Amino acid sequence: MKILDFQNLIKELYLQKDLERGVHSTFIWLVEEVGELATLLNSKSLDKTKISQELSDIVAWTVSIANILGIDLEKALDAKYPKLCKKCSSSPCKCGK
């Protein structure tokens, strides 16, 4: 699934709820999901199924914030992360920074 497709799916499913909740409260949900991921990553044994679920939640809440703010996340990602390292202009990165 492309990022834009996922962003549109989240918009269709949850935009009204997200708008009512607002960006601040939606961000708090995102932070809670990051905390849940941190707890899983601090475990002695890594449960990849649970970790994948938390990563998915983090992406979904991030997309919700983008939707509330009217940000096209796919365009933002393309602009921020071109197909090469911004520092050394290589792919893969060779600068070690």
- Nearest Cα to Cα of residue 38 among 28, 51, 29: 51
Residue 86: pLDDT band with limits 50, 70, 90: confident
- For residues 73 and 7, the answer to whether their CB atoms sit within 8 Å is yes
Length of the chain: 97
Going from N- to C-terminal start, the domains of the chain cover 3-80
The percent of residues above 90 in pLDDT, for the chain, comes to 87
* pLDDT tens, residue by residue, 24-63: 999 999 999 999 999 999 999 999 999 999 999 999 999 9
pTM as predicted:
0.90
Tell me what pLDDT residue 96 has. Answer: 73
Q: Please name the CATH architecture into which domain 3-80 falls.
A: Orthogonal Bundle (1.10)
Tell me what pLDDT residue 97 has. Answer: 57
**Average pLDDT over the chain, rounded to an integer:** 95
Token pair, residue 20, equals: 């009512």
